[in-house]
Amino acid sequence: MAGNQQEYYRLLGEADRSADCSGFIHFLLGAVKQALEEAIASQTPDVSVEMSVQLSVETQQMILQVLSKQPSLSLAKVAPLVGKSVRTVERVAARLQKEGKLEHVEPRKGGHWVAKE
């Protein structure tokens, strides 16, 4: 609002003289909208990344926990147990395998999982 101080007082005076405050209200709403957009733009990425990382770690932990207790489960059966889509569980399991935290032993069908926490 500090950058628009002259416009603020001009519109306020105009509203007073004409007994019509619609222009002044329009100006204020625009200023509020701009302030909110700037606040959202400056904060959302940090919060979004932080939440995404936290949820990813929680998902990894849940998958490892389920597979350590029931190593013969398929990823399709793990998905509803952890509340994620099959694709998400497959993606997280692939990441865990790449990081050496999860291993699939034996053939693709009929094999079992080894969680290496």
Least-confidence region, from 16-30, 49-63, 95-109? 49-63
Tell whether the model's pLDDT for residue 94 goes beyond 90: yes
Picking from 96, 11, 103, the residue whose alpha carbon sits closest to that of residue 56 is 96
116: left (phi over 0), alpha (psi -120 to 50) or beta: beta
Rounded CA gap, 111 and 66, in Å?
15
Confidence of residue 39 (pLDDT cuts 50, 70, 90): confident
Binning pLDDT at 50, 70 and 90, where does residue 112 land?
Answer: very high
**What CATH architecture is 2-115?**
Orthogonal Bundle (1.10)
DSSP alpha helix (H) spans, 19-85: 22-69, 75-82
